[in-house]
Amino acid sequence: MTAAPAGPRAVPLDKRPVTALKGVGTALAEKLLKLGVESVQDLLFLLPARYEDRTKVVPIGALRSGDRAVVEGEVELAEVVFRRRRQLLVRIRDGTGFLTLRFFYFTSAQQAQLVRGVRLRLYGEARRGTLGLEIAHPEYRRADAFDAQRVEDSLTPVYPTTEGVQQGRLRILTAQALEAIDYGALADYLPAGLLAELGLPTLVEALTYVHRPPPGADVELLASGRHPAQRRLAFEELLAHQLSLRLLRQEIRRDPAYPIAPPGRLLARLRSGLPFALTGAQERVLDEISADLASSSPMLRLVQGDVGSGKTVVAAAAACKAIEAGFQVALMAPTELLAEQHWQNFDRWFRPLEQPVALLTGKLASKARRSAQEALASGDVSIAVGTHALFQEGVNFRRLALLIVDEQHRFGVDQRMALRNKGKHAGRYPHQLVMTATPIPRTLAMTAYADLDVSVIDELPPGRTPVRTVALTETRRQEVVQRIDTAIRDGRQAYWVCPLIEESEELDYQAAEATHAALKAALPGVRVGLLHGRLKGPEKERTMAAFKRHDLDLLVATTVIEVGVDVPNATLMVIENAERMGLAQLHQLRGRVGRGAAESTCVLLYKAGMSALARERLNVMRETNDGFRIARRDLELRGPGELLGTRQTGLLTMRVAELGRDADLLPRVQSAAEVLLAEHPATIGALLRRWIGGRERYGKV
């Protein structure tokens, strides 16, 4: 590569502010910032959302309704008409046919320009109208003899926009940025040998193609995101995320931890008090955790387990080891309901072992919170269970050595790191055990959780009967009510889940409060409770406790019961508007039943006219109870967002790559990460800054 010339063009594009481009002042720069554009390099990575083909003029006679095309013709007639609203109609002809242009918003200057005899070149979408084919508000300009034959020499990109930044302006700016590439100001961090092995274009080739695809480019392939140029960019972005987590893992494991390997007397006492034996899968995972805890490097382990597989008792067993060795344990859950559920389980298991368990949530009364904080700071309490309140200011641990995080995908890595840093003591950091009941396909887990070792509890406790799932149209609601009545007469309990708390004029979901009232009227003598997120903490606790004691027969609830509710006597689950929910949520809700030996049923009520995607989801639920199989189908149907909760993590918010679409790249991404770590470590920092910014050092700054 030739040396870049001196001057501003030689400055690397990631170091050149967007204000260095012609026509960009402070005001426009502020608007571009809303699109994530600060530097000239950022502008190159603001990729088109779609493309328009303006590379050829289409005869008007060849146009069909729905076509987006460039046409050219002479104005034959222009008039202002009043049909409900004032509008300008312009008819043009090109010898093959005529076309009407319709303007609802126009100026007197426009009206003066669009007169008989003027030749126009325009672009827009043709639609069938009252006067034949027409285009509303086309982009247009006069076409004189000088440029009558000139058309666009590439497909026209359509970019994501924000208020005050028009498409034309973005095209001009990206053209300037593309020109700057020619001066060697954009580094390619992937080795040429690796690109050749993968059959991928260079970075410059990829960016040039996606911003200005040549005439004849495969628009459908570009729209699918699977063109080699797009795959090149997706590969680099996935690689950056993989490296960021690998480096985070390396950095964390360089920090010392307390080795924990007690004789095991407390764990033996816990086991003897349990009414069940651990499964083989639980024992295997506990062995893996024990080996990690015995190390002087911090444990970083994810435990995946389907609904009801027994992750919590494995976490309790790990806690026994830390407590017996003289350390403290913190268990963090994403919701107050789930935190309270864990606290109740831990309190039941550890109270006979003379180990009190503190509960710390945001809604705790001031006196109770202060008491819990003092007990943790002094070391009088060895176990704390709570929400994100555990890592807020004012909460201190005397000797925290084990951090357990449930439903990891609902927390950001930065939140998990904040609690980890709170546990730092005498230069040592706590071990981390994170759990999820949202099974994730192996390849995806290796990418999303590259900073963690992964264990899988792939065996349900004995005596569990698979839940039978049926899908019924809502017109059969009365049959479902009768089935509930029969189950309750047999001494069982049931859930009825609704998406909303109150009636909504905009959404026709069944509302929990209205359903609660209707079911009370339809089932006289049946004790019906109501549970939703707006209830205050004590009221929620009383309702849930009453259901557990069987003081309530039927619990009408919102999806607040998705996780953390364990009532073995509940054998019937009804889910309203099931067609509106994702597979992961449906599977979690179904997991609230089938927790005992009795046969359980889940009824999915749906409205007529659901989409093909919704029908496929309900079919998957009917076919299998296997959470890992459901997760694979969820990935295929909806992508990784539902599995990983990307809005919560902030980690896998990607600009180009989509994990569902680009999953086949992941094994090669992992191999490439090994190559860069071993042979090209100097390029990694710049690669991470390009795609991730400063986020690769979660909690470490």
Give the tens place of pLDDT for each residue, 627-648: 878 877 776 676 554 444 433 3
CB-based burial label for 504 (10 Å; 0-12, 13-18, 19+): exposed
Task: Find the mean pLDDT for residues 576-591.
Answer: 87
**pLDDT of 38 over the 50 cut:** yes
3-state class of 328 per DSSP? Answer: strand
Q: What's the pLDDT at 369?
A: 87
Query: Percent of the chain scored above 90 by pLDDT?
Result: 49
Please give the Cα distance from 502 to 500 (Å, whole number). 6
User: What are 528-553's pLDDT values in tens digits?
Assistant: 999 887 787 778 878 888 998 999 99
| 31 or 564, which is more confident | 31
Task: Find the mean pLDDT for residues 390-404.
Answer: 89
Please give the Cα distance from 415 to 637 (Å, whole number). 29
Q: Is the pTM of this model over 0.75?
A: no
Show Cβ contacts of residue 505 under 8 Å, excluding neighbours closer than 6 positions: none
Please give the Cα distance from 565 to 341 (Å, whole number). 7
Q: Which residues pair with 50 in a beta bridge?
A: 158
- Of 126-130, 235-239, 392-396, which range is least confident? 392-396
Task: Find the mean pLDDT for residues 246-260.
Answer: 88
- The pLDDT-based confidence of 348 (bands split at 50, 70, 90) is very high
Please give the Cα distance from 26 to 19 (Å, whole number). 7
Please give the Cα distance from 222 to 212 (Å, whole number). 12
Q: What's the pLDDT at 147?
A: 53
What's at 197, amino acid-wise?
E
**pLDDT of 592 over the 80 cut:** yes
Q: Sheet containing 528-531: give its strands across.
A: 468-473, 601-606, 570-575, 493-497, 554-557, 528-531
- The pLDDT-based confidence of 563 (bands split at 50, 70, 90) is low
Q: What's the pLDDT at 649?
A: 38
User: What are 477-506's pLDDT values in tens digits?
Assistant: 999 999 999 999 999 999 999 886 565 555
Contact call for residues 473 and 608 (beta carbons, < 8 A) = yes
Instruction: Give the DSSP letter string of 407-468.
Output: SGGGS-HHHHHHHHHHT-BTTBB-EEEEEESS---HHHHHHHTTTSEEEEE--PPTTPPPPE
3-state class of 213 per DSSP? Answer: coil
Show Cβ contacts of residue 679 under 8 Å, excluding neighbours closer than 6 positions: 191
DSSP H helices, 182-279, are 192-198, 203-211, 219-224, 228-254, 265-273
**pLDDT of 367 over the 60 cut:** yes
Show Cβ contacts of residue 647 under 8 Å, excluding neighbours closer than 6 positions: 641, 653
- Of 7-11, 429-433, 510-514, which range is least confident? 7-11
- Of 139-153, 174-188, 364-378, which range is least confident? 139-153
What's at 509, amino acid-wise?
Y
- Six-digit token pair at 12? 């690397």
Please give the Cα distance from 433 to 406 (Å, whole number). 9
User: What are 655-677's pLDDT values in tens digits?
Assistant: 888 877 887 888 899 889 999 99
Q: What's the pLDDT at 700?
A: 39
Instruction: Give the DSSP letter string of 382-416.
Output: -EEEESGGGGSTT---SSEEEEEEESGGGS-HHHH
Show Cβ contacts of residue 151 under 8 Å, excluding neighbours closer than 6 positions: 54, 55, 56, 57, 70
Q: Please calculate the CA angle 231-438-614 and round it to the nearest 5 degrees.
A: 75
Contact call for residues 125 and 66 (beta carbons, < 8 A) = yes
Task: Find the mean pLDDT for residues 140-159.
Answer: 74
Please give the Cα distance from 398 to 210 (Å, whole number). 55
Mean pLDDT across the chain, nearest whole number? 85
**pLDDT of 148 over the 70 cut:** no
User: What are 317-339's pLDDT values in tens digits?
Assistant: 999 999 999 999 999 988 787 88
- The pLDDT-based confidence of 125 (bands split at 50, 70, 90) is very high
- Of 109-123, 561-575, 595-609, 634-648, which range is least confident? 634-648
CB-based burial label for 93 (10 Å; 0-12, 13-18, 19+): middle
Place of tokens 């079911």: 519
Q: What's the pLDDT at 246?
A: 86
Q: What's the pLDDT at 394?
A: 85
- The pLDDT-based confidence of 472 (bands split at 50, 70, 90) is very high
User: What domains can be seen in the chain, in order of their start residue?
Assistant: 8-51+156-224 (no CATH), 56-147 (2.40.50.140), 254-457 (3.40.50.300), 468-624 (3.40.50.300)
Closest CA to 406 of 336, 348, 469: 336
DSSP H helices, 528-626, are 537-548, 583-590, 612-623
| 653 or 153, which is more confident | 153
